[in-house]
């Protein structure tokens, strides 16, 4: 098995690459990543010398490059994670989301289709997507199932929805052996500190304001990143061609409750008097078009593929905080340079 994993230097991708490199020594794993601001080879130093691992620097918006590497390496499978992934960035720069998430995905589909022309036996194209394509839930009883209609509300989710539609269209039209999953919010080690949980950990540690959008009442359904990687393993190996699997932890939290919980954990770990970090909470202008609630019904993957989350949220959050406190150099590296200027520009006027 020659397996191409795109976006493997990013947050979730690095956990998927690690799992596959270590669990399947008989596979050759190729990690293709453009190393944007979100891609970081330091996420993979523990496995970078493994004999079954190869890193390829490249951009999925470059169709010719993809055709060339498929011709040269004849991949048997693809797990596609490369994407622009941050909703706030999609609001300020939608076109880069169209380019990577839509055009890049179609380039990859074309490269696989051309490489596998006439012989898709044993081949698989797995597209990793998000629950945000389903839009925003307003009735507390509702969950996103695999049958929920798409209703994306942000440029990010619109670009991911478009990419999902193209993947299914290639499955239907060209009989490409596709499989998809739509997952809820991930958290854990290596999470880039522009997203809620790592940003709050960083700001608590450095005594900066904790920017809570709106009233902090938006709800997200959180899953530990290693559990998502385990689910991707299950879907890649045992999911049915043409099917979609929703992945989530049945673990809904209001943003403000997560921020308060992180403040308590950090006060304890940093040996600060109780209540110190919570004083940093600052309510700021809401995200434009902010989705109210996401909640995944994960019954299909649990029943059909036997997957279930391995960690309770409080335990996962403790592990996450411990990882960030023990990896100061990683944090310093990703909060310098381009990211730092973006971060200051973005929050200076809040
Ligand atoms: P991330 O932003 O941390 O990583 C994305 C990776 O893709 C980076 O390594 C980046 O360098 C690479 N990349 C970006 N543009 C590229 C291009 N044009 N060519 C090649 N590589 C490129 O993202 P993440 O949070 O790890 O998300 C990975 C995937 O999972 C995405 O498709 C995302 O939509 C999906 N997803 C994320 C979450 C979440 O909570 N983070 C939840 C569900 C689904
Ligand atoms: O649901 C899956 C999605 O989860 C993934 O597809 C995306 O790639 C991923 O970024 C994530 O999207 P969210 O927008 O839900 O994640 P984010 O961490 O940006 O925000 C989580 C919630 O916290 C959201 O309601 C906005 C809020 N928030 C976020 C930041 C960065 C704040 O209140 N303050 C902040 O500073």
180, 168 contact by CB (below 8 A): yes
**Mean pLDDT score of the chain:** 96
Residues sharing a CB contact under 8 Å with residue 298, sequence separation 6 or more, in sequence order: 246, 247, 248, 249, 250
Q: Which of 4, 9, 12 to mutate to test the pocket of ligand 1 (most atoms within 8 A of CB)?
A: 12
The answer, yes or no, to whether residue 348 has pLDDT greater than 50, is no
Exposure string for 190-229, b = 16+ CB within 10 A, e = fewer: bbbbbbbbbbbbbbbbeeeebbbbeebebbbbbbbbbbbb
Mean pLDDT, residues 130-155 taken together:
97
Q: What per-residue confidence (pLDDT) applies to 278? A: 98
Mean pLDDT, residues 81-110 taken together:
98
Q: What per-residue confidence (pLDDT) applies to 345? A: 53
> How many residues are present in the chain?
350
CA pair distance 194, 43, nearest whole angstrom: 16
Q: Which of 33, 84, 131, 297 is catalytic?
A: 131
CA of 66 to the centre of ligand 2 (A): 31
Is 348 a member of any domain? no
CA 132 to ligand 1: nearest atom: 43
Mean pLDDT, residues 238-251 taken together:
98
pLDDT > 90 in the chain, percent:
95
222, 277 contact by CB (below 8 A): no
The answer, yes or no, to whether residue 341 has pLDDT greater than 70, is no
Mean pLDDT, residues 268-274 taken together:
97
The answer, yes or no, to whether residue 349 has pLDDT greater than 80, is no
Is 175 a member of any domain? yes
CA of 24 to the centre of ligand 1 (A): 23
pLDDT > 70 in the chain, percent:
96
Closest CA to ligand 1's atom 15: 83
The answer, yes or no, to whether residue 129 has pLDDT greater than 60, is yes
Half-sphere exposure of 45 (CA within 13 A, CB side): 5
CA of 168 to the centre of ligand 2 (A): 26
Residue 123 DSSP one-character state:
-
Residue for token pair 């434009």? 288
Is 155 a member of any domain? yes
What string of H, E and C letters represents the secondary structure of 32-84?
EECCCCCCCHHHHCCCCCCCCEEEEECCCCCHHHHHHHHHHHCCCEEEECCCC
Is 148 a member of any domain? yes
Q: What per-residue confidence (pLDDT) applies to 318? A: 97
Is 196 a member of any domain? no
Active site residue 283: no
Give the model confidence (pLDDT) of 21-53 as tens digits: 999 999 999 999 999 999 999 999 999 999 999
Is 296 a member of any domain? yes
30, 20 contact by CB (below 8 A): no
Q: Which of 132, 252, 291, 297 is catalytic?
A: 132
> What is the DSSP pairing of strand 178-183 with strand 185-187?
unpaired
Count of domains forming the chain:
1
* Domain, as residue range, for 72: 2-187+223-251+292-312
Q: Which of 204, 211, 287 to mutate to test the pocket of ligand 2 (most atoms within 8 A of CB)?
A: 287
Give the model confidence (pLDDT) of 148-188 as tens digits: 999 999 999 999 999 999 999 999 999 999 999 999 999 99
Is 78 a member of any domain? yes
**Closest by alpha carbon to 13, among 28, 96, 38?**
38
Closest CA to ligand 2's atom 19: 195
What are the Cα distances from residue 270, in Å, to 192, 264, 321, 323, 325?
A: 21, 10, 11, 14, 9
Q: What per-residue confidence (pLDDT) applies to 350? A: 38
Q: Which of 156, 187, 213, 245 is catalytic?
A: 156
The answer, yes or no, to whether residue 347 has pLDDT greater than 70, is no
Residues sharing a CB contact under 8 Å with residue 9, sequence separation 6 or more, in sequence order: 31, 33, 35, 39, 40, 41, 43, 44, 55
Closest CA to ligand 2's atom 10: 86
Q: Which of 4, 38, 228, 249 to mutate to test the pocket of ligand 1 (most atoms within 8 A of CB)?
A: 38
The pLDDT confidence band at residue 342, using thresholds 50, 70 and 90, is low
Closest CA to ligand 2's atom 6: 130
CA 33 to ligand 1: nearest atom: 21
Q: Is pTM, for the whole model, over 0.85?
A: yes
Active site residue 131: yes
Mean pLDDT, residues 230-244 taken together:
98
Mean pLDDT, residues 3-27 taken together:
98
Helix or strand holding residue 165 (H, E): helix 155-174
Active site residue 46: no
What is the CATH number for 71?
A: 3.40.50.720
Q: What per-residue confidence (pLDDT) applies to 118? A: 78
Q: What per-residue confidence (pLDDT) applies to 338? A: 59
Is 193 a member of any domain? no
CA of 267 to the centre of ligand 1 (A): 31
Task: Count Cβ atoms within 10 A of the Cβ of residue 121 and give its class: 0-12 exposed, 13-18 middle, 19 or more buried.
Answer: exposed
């Amino acid at each position: 098995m020659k397996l191409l994993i795109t976006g493997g230097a990013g947050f979730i991708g690095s956990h998927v690459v690690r799992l596959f490199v270590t669990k399947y020594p008989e596979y050759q794993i190729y990690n293709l990543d453009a190393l944007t601001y979100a891609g970081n080879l330091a996420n993979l130093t523990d496995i970078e010398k493994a004999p079954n691992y190869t890193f390829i620097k490249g951009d999925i918006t470059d169709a010719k490059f993809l055709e060339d590497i498929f011709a040269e390496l004849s991949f048997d499978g693809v797990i596609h994670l490369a994407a622009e992934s941050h909703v706030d960035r999609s609001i300020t720069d939608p076109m880069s989301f169209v380019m990577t998430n839509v055009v890049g995905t179609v380039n990859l589909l074309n490269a696989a289709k051309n490489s596998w022309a006439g012989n898709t036996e044993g081949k698989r194209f797995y597209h990793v997507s998000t629950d945000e394509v389903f839009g925003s839930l307003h009735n507390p009883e509702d969950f996103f199932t695999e049958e929920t209609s798409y209703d994306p509300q942000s440029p990010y989710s619109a670009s991911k929805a478009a990419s999902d539609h193209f993947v299914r269209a290639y499955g239907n039209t060209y009989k490409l052996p596709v499989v998809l999953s739509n997952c809820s919010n991930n958290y854990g080690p290596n999470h880039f500190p522009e997203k809620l949980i790592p940003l709050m950990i960083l700001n608590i540690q450095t005594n900066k304001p904790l920017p809570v959008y709106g009233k902090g009442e938006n709800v997200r359904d959180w899953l530990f990143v290693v559990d998502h990687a385990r689910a991707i393993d299950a879907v890649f190996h045992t999911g049915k061609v043409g099917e979609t699997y929703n992945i989530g932890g049945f673990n809904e939290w209001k943003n403000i409750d997560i921020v308060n919980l992180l403040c308590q954990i950090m006060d304890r770990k940093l040996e600060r008097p109780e209540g110190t970090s919570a004083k940093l909470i600052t309510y700021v202008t809401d995200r434009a078009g902010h989705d109210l609630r996401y909640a995944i019904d994960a019954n299909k993957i649990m029943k059909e593929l036997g997957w279930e989350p391995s960690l309770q949220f409080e335990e996962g959050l403790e592990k996450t905080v411990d990882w960030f406190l023990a990896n100061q150099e990683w944090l310093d590296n990703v909060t310098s340079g381009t990211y730092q200027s973006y971060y200051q520009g973005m929050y200076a006027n809040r």
